[in-house]
A and B are shown apart, each in its own frame.
Chain A
């Protein structure tokens, strides 16, 4: 399981960086989304994957007896997913607005900021 996740994470990062380096704005956004998902899976993997129980202490027990999954990475991923959802929604709208105003989705043609004025 670990080795599969490692390969998936590697592929997500690689694909994300490849897409960011493309000139098209839409591909840029896709690249950022893939990178974000890669990072989320990385947190999941590094929180140690165990076959066990949820970390809930039963009403009759005093401490966790069985092997249990670390709940913190899941909380972190949830936070990160929510944040990246908001940011990506913003980025997609921004790309749409920029496409309407600049009338291109080619990053190489977005040179207005480099003009010497």
Chain B
């Protein structure tokens, strides 16, 4: 029993639940506010912010200025709106729809 308990607990600890919520970030990538659960790793939030800001910035340089971005994953939707160099970013996990 002790052995099973050991393996089981380790697996559960490694899972990260995809959160629902939003956060704002300034042009330098600093997180200004967030409604995301604290359990969601801070570095994930920063990575999302960095990727979104880079996309807006590089798009502008390439002659493709964007005001909104929607990134679809199999189980998560990220929606970002550009705010004067920064952004507001919404995260919404996707679940299997029951018909």
Binding partners A and B? no
